[in-house]
Amino acid sequence: MSVDHYTYRVTWSAEDGEHVGLCAEFPSLSWLSKTPEAALKGIRRVVSEAVADMQAAGEAIPVPLAEKHYSGEFRVRIPPQVHRALATEAAEQGVSLNRLASAKLAA
């Protein structure tokens, strides 16, 4: 398991006045720094330390999102009136409900 495979992001924190490094697989961890590069370096180090601690404790380590298999299918429950409106829109456009929903989600 390489910590290089995790999903990292750096964004500006107006509240803190610094850049914050984040890791999607470890949402409770973050690292603040004056530069984006240092924020990324910091969060990578914190994740590496967390993984080492988890391994030492025999805990399950999160699988990187990039290494998970995605089927392309998921189920969404919506109110019947929304379902009807989407089905009507799909019919008017001459596309399947699945194609319409996929296009809307991708937008």
**Can you tell me the mean pLDDT for 75-82?**
95
pLDDT at 58: 97
CB within 8 Å of 97: residues ≥ 6 apart: 86, 87, 90
Element (H, E) at 30: strand 30-33
More confident position, 74 or 45: 45
For a pLDDT cut of 90, what percent of the chain falls above it?
Answer: 96
Spans of all domains in the chain: 3-66, 70-106
Q: How confident is the model at residue 40 (pLDDT cuts 50, 70, 90)?
A: very high
Say yes or no to pLDDT of 38 above 70: yes
**Can you tell me the mean pLDDT for 25-46?**
98
> How far apart are the C-alpha atoms of 11 and 30, rounded to whole Å?
11
Say yes or no to pLDDT of 34 above 80: yes
pTM comes to: 0.74
pLDDT at 98: 94
pLDDT at 2: 85
Residue 23 near residue 47, CB atoms below 8 Å: yes
> How far apart are the C-alpha atoms of 96 and 100, rounded to whole Å?
6
Q: Which of 29, 71, 103 is nearest to 8 (CA)?
A: 29
